[in-house]
Structure 1
Amino acid sequence: MEPELIYQDDDLIVVSKPAGMPVHDAKHSTDYTLCDWLLERFPEIKEVGDARANEHIPYRPGIVHRLDKWTSGVMVIARNQESFLRLKDIFKSRQVEKVYTALVCGHLKEKTGIIQKSLGRILASPTKIGIEKSGSRLKNPKEAVTEYKVLKEYPGAALLEVKPKTGRMHQIRVHLASIGHPVAGDTVYGGKNVCLKDLGRYFLHASSLSFSFREGQRLTFSVDLPPELEERLGKQGVAKFS
């Protein structure tokens, strides 16, 4: 389980992260992380990033955005401090277009749509994210917006193109589950009976990133679905989703 280096220059490193690899270290975890892999190959990024106020803050050299452990796909990393600050501003000001591919359980009535529901950590279960609604007890809920489009329908499932307009933790997974169509394989937000629960991961892949980094230059980085997801869709586009 190794990331794939898909682009590098003096300012940027772009990789395809595999599912199952955390981006950075976590409390009580000994997992080999993307940051470990990056530091082995690009030791110059060691001092790139925000200063850590204390040792409890994860060490994230060059990291300006993240993917969940079991989400695969494209990530961009800053190779120097100037690039870090530039990328950080691009992501914070929402000047980056992020496109994901997701397989969800069931068929959506609307073939395109926008989900606008604020998200926050569930106080009673801080590793999970919840939707802000009457009676919900969430820590610091924030606006979250997700656009989706149905690409193809399968028996009992649908393949979507998803564009998160904000970058909240677990945003796509929580938003899609909130409209009754959880991401296939996602037992956390889809429940124990979610479709494709035997997949060993959830069917969510960061397919592309596009942003303007240098004046007059639009950069787009794309990665295909990994084999375990492509194969599950079936050679003739027929898959088993029970």
Structure 2
Amino acid sequence: MIEPKIIFEDSSLLVLDKPAGLAVHGFPGNTEPTLADWLLEKYPDIESVGEPESLRPTPYALLPVSRCGLVHRLDRETSGVIVVAKTLEAYLSLKQQFSSGSAEEGYEGRPRKTYQALVYGLMKDDQGEIHRSIGRSRVNPKLRIVGAKASGTSRDALTYYKVLERFNLLGKVESFEQEERRKKKEGVSDFTFLECYPRTGRTHQVRVHLGSIGRPVVCDKLYAPGKPCLPGLTRHALHAASIDIMLPTGERKVFSAPLPIDMAGVLENLHKASFEQSTKHEI
């Protein structure tokens, strides 16, 4: 089993660095251990922490699912910080934080989450916001989409972003022909590394929002099908870098997880490729 690393632990709270590839909960067809399994093995009493067991539909039956102190989730392929309550009091305190606010009132009371993502193409603006409601796709229930084509009721979703680096592997544009070449190769030769700050917590929110503006996460098989992955990546390039929360004691704390080796290696390769391209252009 791929095990998480403990970032912080006290009598009421557990903060983990979840590795990519580890699912938080089980799902139909999954036979691999999950984060919930790990929690139950290491902290048996945590099974009763949270809301009453819900029933999750499978192709065969409705299976009970325990919360195991989990107040929020990360996608299976997303690495990084995840918070677990060890007591009911801590769970209720955290749940109140995660659910506070609304589209009308704003979301200032919620924990502040920071994600790091590598996307295809060059982001035009250094920073900005994506405020688009998210709902389930009518065509594929695994997909979430923005706009009127969503099935059922869409929910308000807000993500801010800030560009950290741009990687232009085609070099300086000097002619119309080169600009046309860039357009044809965009998403293969241009990349942007950025931070995202989701103020709401919709399923796949960061991935959906970035895809909705034409800048999907690199190697995202669900929202960027057919686009090539970069060498060294076998999962989507999204990492939950930090979370700023209020502890049950009233103290405010920020917990962080370093960029994992796979994403760090890809960025290093992009730096090298960008340097080589700029040197070639200067010559």
| TM-score, with structure 1 as normaliser | 0.92
Out of 120-129 and 6-15, give the one that drifted further. 120-129
Please, which of 74, 87, 96 is the counterpart of residue 111 of structure 2?
A: 96
What residue in structure 1 maps to residue 36 of structure 2? Answer: 35
Give the counterpart letter for 2:122 in structure 1: H
Specify the alignment match of 2:157 in structure 1: 144
Query: Which residue, 236, 244, 248 being the options, matches 1:210?
Result: 244
CA apart distance, 1:237:
2.6
Deviations 1:16-51 (CA, angstroms, capped at 9, x unpaired): 001111001112321210111111111120111110
Residues 134 and 150 in structure 2, CA contact (< 8 A), matched pair in contact too: no
| TM-aligned CA distance change 1:111 to 1:61, over 3 Å | same
Aligned counterpart, 2:167: 154
User: How big is the alpha-carbon RMSD for the aligned residues of Structure 1 and Structure 2?
Assistant: 1.8
Aligned 8 A contact 1:24 1:59 in 2: no
The more displaced of 98-107 and 35-44 is: 35-44
- Which TM-score applies when normalising by structure 2? 0.80
The structure richer in helix per residue is 2
Contact 1:103 1:159 in 2 (8 A): yes
Distance in 2 of aligned mates of 1:49 and 1:215: 19
Structure 1 unpaired stretches of 5+: none
Residue type at the aligned position of 1:38: L
Relative to structure 1, the CA distance from residue 214 to residue 198 in structure 2 (aligned partners, 3 Å threshold; closer, same or farther) is closer
In 2, Cα distance between equivalents of 1:42 and 1:185: 34
- CA shift, 1:53, in A, is 4.2
- Is the CA contact (8 Å cut-off) linking 1:122 and 1:139 kept in structure 2? no
Of 70-79 and 53-62, the range deviating more from structure 2: 53-62
Shift, 1:195, TM fit: 4.9
Provide the rounded CA distance (Å) in 2 between the counterparts of 1:198 and 1:22.
21
Residue 85 of structure 1 corresponds to 92
In structure 2, the residue corresponding to 1:209 is in which secondary structure? Answer: strand
Structure 1 stretch 99-108 or stretch 192-201: which is displaced more?
A: 192-201
SS at match of 1:66: coil
Partner of 1:12: 13
* Cα distance in 2 between the residues matched to 1:218 and 1:13: 15
Q: Is the contact between residue 12 and residue 79 of structure 1 (CA under 8 Å) also seen in structure 2?
A: yes
8 Å Cα contact 2:134/2:155 also seen in 1: yes
In the other structure, the counterpart of 1:63 is: 70
Larger of the two Rg values belongs to structure: 2
AA matched with 1:85: L
1:53/1:18 CA distance change after superposition, 3 Å: closer
Check the 8 A contact 2:167/2:270 in 1, yes or no.
no
Q: Which amino acid aligns with 2:234?
A: G
Aligned mate of 1:223, from 257, 276, 281:
257
| Contact 2:132/2:156, CA 8 A, preserved across alignment | yes
* C-alpha distance in 2 between matches for 1:195 and 1:131: 24
Deviation of 1:217 after TM superposition, in Å, equals 1.3
Structure 1 residue 189 corresponds to structure 2 residue 230 = no
Indicate the residue corresponding to 1:132 in structure 2. 147
Structure 1 stretch 159-168 or stretch 138-147: which is displaced more? 138-147
Change (3 A) 1:124 1:81: same
184-193 or 157-166, which deviates more: 184-193
Residue of 133, 137, 140 corresponding to 1:122: 137
